[in-house]
Structure 1
Amino acid sequence: MAVNFPSIDPAQLHPVAGVTLGWAEGHIRKPNRKDVLVISLDEGATVAGVFTANRFCAAPVIVCREHLAKVQASGGIRALVINTGNANAGTGEPGLADARATCAELARLTGLRAEQILPFSTGVILEPLPVDRVKAALPDALAHRDAANWYLGAQSIMTTDTLPKAVSAQVTIDGHTVTMTGISKGAGMIRPNMATMLGFLAIDAKLAQPVLDEMVKYVADRSFNCITIDGDTSTNDSFIIMASGRASLPAITSTADPAYVALRDAVTATAQSLSQLIVRDGEGATKFITVKVEGGADVAECRRIAYSIAHSPLVKTAFFASDPNLGRILCAVGYAGIDDLDVSRTDLYLDEVLVAKGGGRNPDYREEDGQRVMKQAEITVRLRLGRGEAEATIWTCDLSHDYVSINADYRS
């Protein structure tokens, strides 16, 4: 059951000029479901991405990195092809051959070069990709291409997701309207860097390749790299920004351009909304939890502590049970690995309720106040370290019986 998941009206997802999406039913793992997606880009687009930190990364991740490294020589990325139902991970050289064969087939059908195509897969690990099914579905996906297919595209990349995930926004910069629309998938095996997630965000602004390369890292570090469901870093996660260059806003060729900062911040806000949908639809989730650590010496230690809290099974199960067993949070702070942390300077809040003050139980704290907050669907854990000005925010969810059931039955 998704937590306060917003109602998404497909008609409110803005088309992005220069970008079309086409879907197909390839029967990759299950019949009668959309499981192949092709995203096509007009000539002149720029594309950048960030990928999983898992050393056992999937074959399509390896191929994506290769093709992005050749982006200038190849004439630019012109298409993305995504399949769900099979991760093509843990598949060795045959898996690499299958990812490359998928790109080659789409290139043949579209008149592109294979290096101009990025492949993505998501689903079960350690099983051969049914590449013939993927290739057979490509003509149908191409036939379905339309600029308005964002919601159908979101449906096409789902695995254990219960709802399609899509966000759209427009921003005015120097009198010019810039449109951005994105889709994502993910519900389990979620932990940066990055998460078992795929995220695709298109904007119609024109950005030079080095500028977009910088933007995608900045945006990911403040959105998709700030979510966690279960602490598992996947083999396939990928986040891609596509800039079609069709907006009237003049081309941005430097990160020093004031328009870049305005656009970067708008894209970050959109990506944050998109990434938070993954947490709201976390496997078995009943609560959406914001963990904010303030007053740290640097951002890195704030994130380290926030993740320690967000990954603790004891903390997450306490939230599921609405049990204000909040000593578990302090315990997670203590083992986060900040060796010189002075716990006597820390304060812990649950929403507005001051639970611990100066490293110990707040004398005025009442159990019923903590329980009132714990029963809410949305909760903020705020920790003040009292050792600097840095801060970091992580979004997570609780851990329920359903999470175990979903993952126990995943391959059934």
Structure 2
Amino acid sequence: MIVSENVIQKVNGHNIAAPKGFSAGGIHCGIKHKKLDLGLIVSDVQASAAAVYTTNQIQAAPLTVTKESISKEQLLQTVIVNSGNANACTGTQGMADAYEMRSLVSQKLGISDHLTAVASTGVIGEMLPMDTVRSGIQSIQADSTLKSSIDFSQSILTTDKVMKNTTYRFEVDGKEVTISGTAKGSGMIHPNMATMLGFVTTDASIEPEALHEALKNAVDRTFNCITVDGDTSTNDMVLILANGCAENSTLKPGHKDWGVFQEALRIVCEDLGKMIAKDGEGATKLIETKVTGTATDEDARKIAKTIVGSPLVKTAVFGCDANWGRVMAAVGYSGVPIDIGSLEIYIGPVCVVKEGMPVSFSEQDVIDYLKHHEILIEVKAGNLEGYGTAWGCDLTYDYVQINASYRT
């Protein structure tokens, strides 16, 4: 469904607690040396809930606990998040710690345990300092102010340089609906969930099954189309809460405004995904790749993800090297059938390949374009209807330095 841009309005002062009935907060509890490291989101009422998770076979304890919570009734009322420690590869004690976090928050708010989700991010293989976490949970408070939402967004960061937040408003049945998102992620980022956490809140009323389907579709076209370094982590999820406080008639497929909600959710996820790609560890440039002409949209996304994930493409962009052959090679090994005779490649506005063959172009024009902070690579892979986009970043000396000393 095509939705007019003026139907969905971007809101300034991005606030994960902007939707009606939500509050948030973040504090420093002592997991990290100085920075905020414990965050809380609370809904005034039980909310429809859905999540998608990392595809890594090794999954951290908080994911198991959150999956269990959501599977109970597809409802949540709160989310507790810590950064600085992933609580991954921590065995039975790590699982017990994640359950204890869930129980402590639920007791604090006077709700059933299964209405609390748990998320963690940080170093793998270290036990949570539970005395610190317990005192932090007792101390943390949530409200709907912008400052408290900023505190939450800061509390979930690890190697990120910047916060990632976005908010939109639209109407359902003439009722104003707000949808907000915040995320963290900078390294160990690769399609199919990576070392990232994403949280979305909305005051829309929506059936849980429909919410899950909408989230899955949005993530497939956004978060699963970003890559920084090809690594997929153990902890990551995107989670959405919809508490119905906008008092619209319940959204589901067939509702006249269902398409508007789906598009608003997709835009929120795309905003956050692009922010993550742009904030890749050591990155200086955002790379966007658009692919057309394939048999399916999935094929186009696969080619686009292969290009932005190529270390040789990423280093060429970093070094301002007009090496179109690296792009062409990535198209070829993506595994997607292409019409070589129709293949076209553009780096920014400059066509470098046409009908599968190199064309004469100004090397200096491409070099000058690659000096920009946002780079567009476009590929026509045939004459069919498939279309896809992916986002990534350049690969720099700083990426190696950051990850060579991550634990020190």
TM-score when scaled to structure 2?
0.93
Q: Is the 8 A contact 1:14 1:169 kept in 2?
A: no
Confirm whether residue 350 of structure 1 aligns to residue 352 of structure 2. no
Deviation at 1:228, TM superposition (A): 1.0
Alignment correspondent of 1:238: 237
Which digits, 9 at most, give the CA deviation of each residue in 1:233-256, with x for residues without a partner?
11111101111211142222x211
Alignment correspondent of 1:18: 21
Look up the equivalent residue of 1:105 and give its one-letter code.
L
2:118 is paired with a residue whose SS is: strand
Of 302, 305, 313, which residue of structure 2 is paired with 1:304?
A: 302
Look up the equivalent residue of 1:170 and give its one-letter code.
R
User: In the comparison of the two structures, how many residue pairs are matched?
Assistant: 397
Which digits, 9 at most, give the CA deviation of each residue in 1:68-126, with x for residues without a partner?
11125xxx311110000001111122211111111111122222222111100000111
Deviation at 1:14, TM superposition (A): 6.5
Look up the equivalent residue of 1:196 and give its one-letter code.
T
Alignment correspondent of 1:406: 402
Deviation at 1:44, TM superposition (A): 3.4
Residues 309-328 of structure 1 mapped to structure 2, 5 A cutoff: 309-328=307-326
Alignment correspondent of 1:48: 50
Between 101-110 and 194-203, report the one with greater CA deviation.
Answer: 101-110
Alignment correspondent of 2:338: 341
Alignment correspondent of 1:185: 184
Which digits, 9 at most, give the CA deviation of each residue in 1:23-49, with x for residues without a partner?
221111x22221001111122321111
CA distance in 2, matches of 1:151, 1:166: 9
CA distance in 2, matches of 1:388, 1:411: 48
2:314 is paired with a residue whose SS is: helix
Of 337, 356, 365, which residue of structure 2 is paired with 1:359?
A: 356
Which digits, 9 at most, give the CA deviation of each residue in 1:167-196, with x for residues without a partner?
112113342211122211011101121121
Look up the equivalent residue of 1:336 and give its one-letter code.
S
Confirm whether residue 128 of structure 1 aligns to residue 127 of structure 2. yes
CA distance in 2, matches of 1:265, 1:49: 18
Residues 201-350 of structure 1 mapped to structure 2, 5 A cutoff: 201-252=200-251, 254-338=252-336, 340-350=337-347
1:246 is paired with a residue whose SS is: coil
Look up the equivalent residue of 1:353 and give its one-letter code.
V
Look up the equivalent residue of 2:26 and give its one-letter code.
W
CA RMSD of aligned residues (A): 1.7
Q: Is the 8 A contact 1:19 1:42 kept in 2?
A: yes
CA distance in 2, matches of 1:335, 1:237: 28
Look up the equivalent residue of 1:383 and give its one-letter code.
V
Q: Is the 8 A contact 1:150 1:182 kept in 2?
A: no
Residues 148-187 of structure 1 mapped to structure 2, 5 A cutoff: 148=146, 149-187=148-186
Alignment correspondent of 2:94: 95
CA distance in 1, matches of 2:400, 2:113: 40
Q: Is the 8 A contact 1:316 1:398 kept in 2?
A: yes
Alignment correspondent of 1:4: none
Deviation at 1:411, TM superposition (A): 0.7
Look up the equivalent residue of 2:385 and give its one-letter code.
E
Which digits, 9 at most, give the CA deviation of each residue in 1:254-296, with x for residues without a partner?
2111211111111211221122111121111111111111100
Which digits, 9 at most, give the CA deviation of each residue in 1:286-323, with x for residues without a partner?
11111111100112222221122111111100100111
Q: Is the 8 A contact 2:293 2:383 kept in 1?
A: yes
- Percent identity between matched residues is 39
1:236 is paired with a residue whose SS is: coil
